[in-house]
Structures are given as structure tokens and as C-alpha cells.
């Protein structure tokens, strides 16, 4: 188990980060695939899976944020300039904001379109708003736009991590990677 330290994230933060990243990657693929299907049972089932994954991601991100509030985050590398720190902070805030907003917008869109949200085919969630087709269409457009922006931010996040690892060699990426092999 990786213990939290001033230089690294702990095992719980790492596990949540990578699980959320994996689920978001799956959501992008699922989202684009399911929208291309003709109306039918398979499309309905994939939409329900998409909704369940979205609500699960929302819950995991809330746990991740609570964990971060309690445990904190490692300090930035000493050589990182203030402008870079500010940009990283804004990028992380935007990532968290979009990851939190996406499932909420999707849930409200389903409500407005009068489609049920049944978590993992077992737990029906109550609608928060009534049926409203014009609102459903606007929310669907917003959900798609936010997915595109989130994809760009994820790409930026990955590129920044790779820059830190391969170009700057400052250990930022290793903070979120589990240690393998012998421990010091």
C-alpha cells in the first residue's frame, strides 16, 4: 500500500484517480457508440449503462474530493513557476467541475426527456424536473458540448503529465503512479 507523503498521493487517491479516469474513457467510447445505434432495446440498455456509469463517476469524484480535502495533495515541484501552478490549478478545477456537472446535466436531460434513470438496473432514481422537450434538447446539446470540452481538458491533462515526466523530469507524474518493486 502506498502511504501518503509530501511528495506522492496515497493509495486511495491513486486508486480513485485511475478508476475515474478509466470510467471516463469508457464513457467517451460508450457515448459515441450508443448515439450511433438505431432506436431499439440495445440502445436503451446502453443508455441505461451510460447513466449508471455517470452517476457512479459522480459519486466517486465526490469521494475523491472529500479524500483530497482530508488528506491534501503533494506540494508542487520547487521549480514550477507561479503561472504554471495557477494554470494547473485552473485546469484541475475545470476538470473537476466538468466531471461533476456532466452526470448532473445528463440526469436532468433524461428527466426532461421523460426517460427513467435506473441505477444499475436496480434502483430507479426520482426525477428532479418534469418532462420538458425543449429543455431536454438544450440539455442534450449542452451535455455533448461539455463532453467535447472535457475530452480536450483530459487530453491537456495527459499531455501536461507527459511533459512533466519526459521533458521536465520533475516527478509530477510519479506522484500519481503506484510504486512497483522494492520500496525504499
Taking alpha carbons only, the member of 11, 37, 156 closest to residue 98 is 156
Backbone torsion region of residue 10, taken as left when φ is above 0, otherwise alpha when ψ lies between -120 and 50, otherwise beta: beta
Q: Are 172 and 161 in contact (CB under 8 A)?
A: yes
* Side-chain half-sphere exposure of 10, counting CA atoms within 13 A: 11
Please tell me the predicted confidence (pLDDT) of residue 116: 92
Please tell me the predicted confidence (pLDDT) of residue 6: 67
Please tell me the predicted confidence (pLDDT) of residue 5: 52
3 state SS of 183: coil
Please tell me the predicted confidence (pLDDT) of residue 4: 45
Please tell me the predicted confidence (pLDDT) of residue 119: 96
Beta bridge partners of 117: 125
Q: Domains of the chain (ranges plus CATH)?
A: 11-176 (1.20.950.20)
Per-residue pLDDT 10s for the chain (184 aa) are 444 456 899 999 999 999 999 999 999 999 999 999 999 999 999 999 999 999 999 999 999 999 999 999 998 888 889 999 999 999 999 999 999 999 999 999 999 999 999 999 999 999 999 999 999 999 999 999 999 999 999 999 999 999 998 998 888 888 898 876 545 4
Cα separation of 168 and 175, whole Å? 14
Please tell me the predicted confidence (pLDDT) of residue 171: 81
Amino acid at each position: 500500500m502506498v502511504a501518503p507523503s509530501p511528495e506522492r498521493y496515497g493509495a486511495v487517491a491513486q486508486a480513485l484517480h485511475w478508476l475515474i479516469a478509466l470510467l471516463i474513457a469508457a464513457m467517451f467510447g460508450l457515448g459515441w457508440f450508443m448515439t450511433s445505434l438505431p432506436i431499439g432495446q440495445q440502445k436503451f440498455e446502453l443508455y441505461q449503462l451510460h447513466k449508471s456509469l455517470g452517476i457512479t463517476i459522480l459519486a466517486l469524484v465526490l469521494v475523491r474530493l472529500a479524500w483530497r480535502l482530508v488528506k491534501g495533495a503533494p506540494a508542487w515541484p520547487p521549480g514550477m513557476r507561479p503561472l504554471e501552478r495557477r494554470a494547473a490549478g485552473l485546469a484541475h478545477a475545470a476538470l473537476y467541475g466538468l466531471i461533476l456537472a456532466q452526470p448532473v446535466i445528463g440526469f436532468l436531460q433524461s428527466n426532461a426527456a421523460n426517460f427513467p434513470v435506473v441505477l444499475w438496473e436496480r434502483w430507479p432514481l426520482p426525477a428532479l424536473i418534469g418532462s420538458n422537450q425543449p429543455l431536454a434538447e438544450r440539455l442534450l446539446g449542452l451535455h455533448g458540448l461539455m463532453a467535447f470540452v472535457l475530452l480536450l481538458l483530459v487530453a491537456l491533462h495527459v499531455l501536461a503529465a507527459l511533459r512533466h515526466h519526459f521533458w521536465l523530469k520533475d516527478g509530477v507524474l510519479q506522484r500519481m503512479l503506484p510504486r512497483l518493486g522494492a520500496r525504499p
